């Protein structure tokens, strides 16, 4: 039986690619040096997979920045604003053009903004969105795929080139001209794909992997038709090349008849995310197709449960025979960290927890182990069963008190004492805020000094007294500034936080961190998500001391600042032995305790950030509501333990929630702050049809840019907002936290923001 890996992480075991890219961008290393690093990384990956004994080893899964950007360059999908730059360059597919498209370009008289970036399905990886317009002439600009195939071959390794399939490439992009139809575009793109595939066939490739993950999404009949067209053409053009069509991140569902009918040689399905699809697929798979069964999870860091995986593989073998089944990772391993063996610090990751985990390299061996168990090696299975068994009862995971509390949760726990209109009155009486109250989203500039302070404390270079004193000083300065600026609801500034999820993860039970568990987020940016391994609870207050201290410095309300349960879940590696909803509710209960403690300490305004609630939406619309139900419930559980007079805020970094607005309202937050300035308040359109009953702070300035907005600009935005929302409900705040900004621009922008709020108040007073 054959084994198959869909893709491997490319950043290097020590983030070598990140470092080399950044050094190259800064002009510190030559292009040759960067290319050398890339070649070494590719070689290491191929050798790892080859030495492990994998049959279908991916190539062209390497990318300097992003695999979709690679495809844009390969096919000549160059947005028109880069054409002049392209023409000025000598080599096609030059790194200059490539990085310009990724990062924008402002040099030598050229000025072009970067391509748009968006989330890759429901992962935390971001890809660059292809831009199609009718002026583009598609052609094979640069055959990266062939070059890497040959490079591996010269090392004695026969690989399976991987490409984003033509239909997904098209569907994931943006068509810039209205008159351009998907079908016409495909007709223009396909010849390039075919030239490319023919070059692979000529070079001796046996397999090619075409990724079509859009097959797990809701597709229109017209979109489905594109698949027929593309794959029929491909089949005719490269009859000798075996095509492996991959789908992942979900089940094929209604696209099953379509997928199994495509004239390809093998179909890959994700049985981690959608194990239930196996029966239907087996029943409908034509004799001509092989099936690649994705049973080793490419999305998390847990050891595979061999017994469970084997049930699926055996079922496939029973129906198809061993020759037609490939054992595979569920998706590319891009979304997992490199190598668990590098986690050697037992004070960070205890041997017990480490024994439950598997990173990319370990997952490769799991795929091999599954094959070997089927071939008769029962010891491998026994060892795995022992680990799974130990984990299922481990005392550090399973805490009866947490489970009991979750079981005892009632509907009342997700309800404030009274409805919003009553709460609003109670809050007005206590807070005494003016109309158009001003506030900020939480963080203030994270200066070099602040970062160094935290790093020194972590390293033990300074004592906890020294650290506390310095943080207090930063809070004092920020409170003083906010008072001078006459902001109404203050924040302490989040100087003690490195990251809004990590900060809480480090203090909650049930979380663990790795030293080197990096995964690529976009380009050279990597993240190291916390790992939720067990029942979550709070052993002590997490933020009360800093918030109380900050409140003690002012008579104005000081806003307590917490991260919400859905965001904590969404940005972590999550345990796979219970539903995500249960894990989220456990976190919600821990946050609830903190909210209640903040109230007890005299904090009257508490913000629970949920910037990730929308990105957690399932890929298929039919699954949205059940997700939203538990996500909204978790938020409500976390904030419902307080009195009417305590004002609950939430914050989200987007306003594109027209489609889920009723669920946002169902969160029942007294105040919501959202991002709206970049769209000039256009995103508020939804409020003209949906009567949102709560208070709302539509961001009046973009925090992504150092530019200081004028008073007039912000006043104009607020005026727009008053056309869509009752003045009484409007707050005045920036789009998001200010941690990436510098102090001087922050101070000036806030000064202008307060002035804009005053203008609005005066205008209202003048009319009454």
369 binds Zn ion (CB under 5 A): no
736 binds Zn ion (CB under 5 A): yes
Q: Which of residues 611-640 bind Zn ion (CB under 5 A)?
A: 611
Q: Can you tell me the distance from the alpha carbon of 462 to that of 459, in angstroms, rounded to the nearest whole number?
A: 8
Token representation of residue 564: 């919400």
Phi-psi region of 231 (alpha: psi -120 to 50; beta: other; left: phi over 0): alpha
Q: Can you tell me the distance from the alpha carbon of 282 to that of 289, in angstroms, rounded to the nearest whole number?
A: 11
The nearer residue to ligand GLN, 94 or 443, going by C-beta atoms, is 443
Q: DSSP readout, 222-283?
A: HHHHHHHHHHHHHHHH-TTSEEEEE--SS--GGGHHHHHHSS-SEEEEETTT-TTHHHHHHH
561 binds ligand GLN (CB under 6 A): yes
Residue 652, φ and ψ in degrees, nearest 5: -135, 145
Q: Can you tell me the distance from the alpha carbon of 658 to that of 652, in angstroms, rounded to the nearest whole number?
A: 13
Shortest Å, Cβ 69 to Zn ion: 26
Q: Is 758 annotated as a binding residue?
A: no
Q: Which of 50, 365, 398, 704 does the annotation list as catalytic?
A: 704
Residue 157 partner contact from ligand GLN, Zn ion, none using kind-dependent CB cut-offs of 5 to 8 Å = none
Work out the angle between the directed axes of helices 743-767 and 711-724 (0-180°, nearest 10): 50
Shortest Å, Cβ 469 to Zn ion: 30
Q: Which of residues 468-527 bind ligand GLN (CB under 6 A)?
A: 494, 500
Binding mask 624-663 for ligand GLN (x = CB under 6 A): ---------------------------x-x----------
Shortest Å, Cβ 414 to ligand GLN: 23
The total of other beta-carbon atoms located within 10 Å of residue 335's CB is 23
704 has catalytic annotation: yes
Q: Can you tell me the distance from the alpha carbon of 292 to that of 3, in angstroms, rounded to the nearest whole number?
A: 8
Part of the chain binding Zn ion (CB under 5 A), chosen from 81-89, 343-351, 538-546, 610-618: 610-618
The residues that bridge with 292 in the sheet, in sequence order, are 268, 326
Shortest Å, Cβ 536 to ligand GLN: 20
Half-sphere exposure of 550 (CA within 13 A, CB side): 33
255 binds ligand GLN (CB under 6 A): no
736 binds ligand GLN (CB under 6 A): yes
Shortest Å, Cβ 492 to ligand GLN: 11
493 three-state secondary structure: strand
Shortest Å, Cβ 641 to ligand GLN: 20
Q: Is 736 annotated as a binding residue?
A: yes
Q: How many residues make contact with ligand GLN (CB under 6 A)?
A: 13
Contact criterion met (CB below 8 Å) for 693 and 665: yes
Binding mask 51-80 for ligand GLN (x = CB under 6 A): ------------------------------
Shortest Å, Cβ 539 to Zn ion: 28
Shortest Å, Cβ 528 to ligand GLN: 17
Q: Is 144 annotated as a binding residue?
A: no
Q: Can you tell me the distance from the alpha carbon of 259 to that of 278, in angstroms, rounded to the nearest whole number?
A: 13
Phi-psi region of 253 (alpha: psi -120 to 50; beta: other; left: phi over 0): left
Binding mask 439-468 for ligand GLN (x = CB under 6 A): --xxx-------------------------
Contact criterion met (CB below 8 Å) for 420 and 668: yes
Q: Which residues contact 583 (CB under 8 A, 6 or more apart)?
A: 532, 536, 569, 574, 575
Residue 10 partner contact from ligand GLN, Zn ion, none using kind-dependent CB cut-offs of 5 to 8 Å = none
Q: Is 158 annotated as a binding residue?
A: no
Q: How many residues make contact with Zn ion (CB under 5 A)?
A: 3
Token representation of residue 225: 């038709």
Q: Can you tell me the distance from the alpha carbon of 673 to that of 734, in angstroms, rounded to the nearest whole number?
A: 9
360 binds ligand GLN (CB under 6 A): no
Q: Is 14 annotated as a binding residue?
A: no
Give the residue, chosen from 590, 653, 671, 717, that forms a contact with Zn ion under the rule CB under 5 A: 653
Q: Name the helix (H) or strand (E) containing 393.
A: helix 378-393
The nearer residue to ligand GLN, 173 or 437, going by C-beta atoms, is 437
Token representation of residue 439: 């506030």
Residue 500 partner contact from Zn ion, ligand GLN, none using kind-dependent CB cut-offs of 5 to 8 Å = ligand GLN
Instruction: Tell me the H-state helices in 555-623.
Output: 565-570, 580-600
The nearer residue to Zn ion, 245 or 672, going by C-beta atoms, is 672
Residue 302, φ and ψ in degrees, nearest 5: -100, 150
Give the residue, chosen from 130, 611, 641, 698, that forms a contact with ligand GLN under the rule CB under 6 A: 611
Shortest Å, Cβ 202 to ligand GLN: 49
729 binds ligand GLN (CB under 6 A): no
Q: Can you tell me the distance from the alpha carbon of 619 to that of 412, in angstroms, rounded to the nearest whole number?
A: 31
Q: Is 615 annotated as a binding residue?
A: yes
Part of the chain binding ligand GLN (CB under 6 A), chosen from 28-36, 259-267, 437-445, 680-688: 437-445
Q: Is 448 annotated as a binding residue?
A: no
Q: Can you tell me the distance from the alpha carbon of 199 to that of 189, in angstroms, rounded to the nearest whole number?
A: 16
Q: Is 17 annotated as a binding residue?
A: yes
Contact criterion met (CB below 8 Å) for 152 and 197: no
The CA-atom distances, in angstroms, between 547 and each of 416, 604, 614, 682 are: 23, 11, 28, 35
Q: Is 653 annotated as a binding residue?
A: yes
325 burial class (0-12, 13-18, 19+ CB within 10 angstroms)?
Answer: buried
| Residues annotated as catalytic (active site), given as ranges | 704
Q: Where along the sequence are the contacts to ligand GLN (CB under 6 A)?
A: 441-443, 494, 500, 561, 609, 611, 651, 653, 736-737, 739
Residue numbers belonging to the annotated binding site for L-methionine: 441-443, 494, 609
Residue numbers belonging to the annotated binding site: 15-18, 119, 124, 441-443, 494, 525-526, 571, 609, 615, 651, 653, 675, 736
């Amino acid at each position: 039986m054959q084994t198959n890996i869909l893709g491997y992480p490319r950043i290097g075991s020590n983030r070598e690619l990140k470092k080399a890219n950044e050094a190259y961008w800064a002009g510190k290393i030559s292009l040759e040096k960067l290319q050398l690093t890339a070649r070494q990384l590719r070689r290491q990956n191929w050798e790892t997979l080859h030495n492990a004994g994998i049959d279908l080893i991916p190539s062209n899964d390497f990318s300097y920045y992003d695999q979709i950007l690679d495809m844009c360059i390969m096919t000549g999908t160059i947005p028109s604003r880069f054409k002049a730059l392209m023409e000025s360059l000598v080599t096609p597919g030059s790194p200059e053009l490539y990085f310009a498209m990724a990062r924008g370009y402002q040099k030598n008289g050229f000025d072009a903004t970067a391509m748009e970036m968006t989330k890759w399905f429901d992962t935390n990886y971001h890809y660059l969105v292809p831009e199609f317009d009718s002026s583009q002439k598609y052609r094979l600009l640069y055959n990266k795929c062939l070059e890497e195939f040959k490079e591996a071959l010269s090392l004695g390794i026969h690989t399976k080139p991987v490409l984003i399939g033509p239909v997904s490439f098209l569907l994931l992009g943006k068509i810039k001209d209205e008159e351009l139809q998907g079908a016409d575009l495909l007709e223009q793109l396909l010849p390039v794909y075919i030239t490319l595939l023919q070059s692979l066939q000529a070079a001796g490739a046996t397999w090619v992997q075409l990724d079509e993950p859009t097959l797990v999404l809701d597709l229109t009949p017209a979109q489905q038709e594109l698949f027929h067209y593309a794959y029929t053409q491909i089949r005719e053009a490269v009859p000798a090349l075996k095509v492996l069509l991959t789908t992942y991140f979900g089940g094929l569902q209604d696209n099953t008849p379509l997928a199994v009918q495509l004239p390809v040689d093998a179909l890959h399905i994700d049985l981690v995310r959608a194990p239930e699809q196996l029966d239907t697929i087996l029943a409908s798979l034509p004799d001509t197709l092989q099936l690649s069964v994705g049973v080793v999870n490419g999305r998390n860091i847990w050891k595979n449960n061999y017994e469970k995986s084997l049930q699926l593989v055996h079922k496939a073998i029973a129906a198809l025979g061993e020759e037609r089944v490939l054992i595979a990772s569920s998706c590319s391993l891009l979304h997992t960290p490199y190598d668990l063996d590098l986690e050697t610090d037992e004070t960070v990751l205890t041997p017990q927890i480490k024994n439950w985990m598997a990173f990319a390299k370990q997952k490769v061996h799991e795929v091999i182990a599954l094959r070997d168990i089927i071939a008769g090696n029962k010891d491998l299975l026994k060892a795995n069963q022992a680990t799974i068994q130990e984990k299922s009862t481990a005392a550090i995971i399973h805490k009866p008190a947490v489970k009991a509390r979750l079981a005892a949760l009632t509907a009342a726990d997700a309800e404030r004492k009274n409805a919003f209109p009553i709460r609003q009155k109670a809050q007005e009486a206590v807070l005494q805020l003016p109309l158009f109250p001003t506030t900020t989203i939480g963080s203030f500039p994270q200066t070099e000094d602040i970062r160094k302070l935290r790093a020194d404390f972590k390293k033990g270079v300074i004592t906890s007294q020294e650290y506390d004193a310095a943080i207090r000083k930063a809070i004092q300065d920020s409170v003083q500034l906010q008072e001078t600026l006459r902001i109404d609801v203050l924040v302490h500034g989040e100087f003690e936080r490195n990251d809004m999820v990590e900060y809480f993860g480090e203090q909650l039970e049930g979380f663990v961190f790795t030293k080197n568990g990096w995964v690529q987020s976009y380009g050279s940016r990597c993240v190291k998500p916390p790992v939720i391994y067990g029942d979550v609870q709070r052993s002590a207050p997490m933020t009360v001391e800093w918030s109380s201290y900050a409140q003690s410095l002012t008579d104005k309300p000081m806003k307590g600042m917490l991260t919400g349960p859905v965001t904590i879940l969404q940005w972590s590696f999550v345990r796979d032995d219970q539903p995500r909803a249960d894990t989220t509710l456990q976190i919600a209960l821990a946050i609830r305790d903190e909210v209640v403690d903040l109230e007890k300490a005299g904090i009257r305004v508490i913000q629970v950030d949920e910037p990730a609630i929308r990105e957690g939406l399932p890929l298929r619309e039919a699954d949205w509501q059940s997700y939203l139900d538990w996500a909204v419930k978790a938020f409500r559980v976390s904030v419902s333990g307080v009195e009417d007079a305590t004002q609950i805020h939430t914050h989200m970094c987007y306003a594109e929630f027209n489609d889920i607005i009723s669920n946002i309202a169902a969160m029942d937050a007294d105040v919501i702050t959202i991002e709206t300035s970049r769209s000039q308040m256009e995103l508020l359109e939804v409020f003209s049809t949906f009567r949102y009953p709560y208070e709302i702070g539509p961001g009046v300035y973009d925090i992504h840019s150092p530019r200081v907005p004028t008073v007039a600009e912000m006043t104009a935005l607020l005026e727009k907002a008053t056309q869509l929302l009752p003045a009484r409900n409007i707050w005045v705040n920036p789009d998001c936290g200010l941690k990436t900004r510098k102090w001087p621009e922050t101070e000036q922008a806030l000064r202008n923001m307060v002035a804009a709020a005053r203008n609005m108040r005066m205008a209202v007073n003048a009319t009454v």
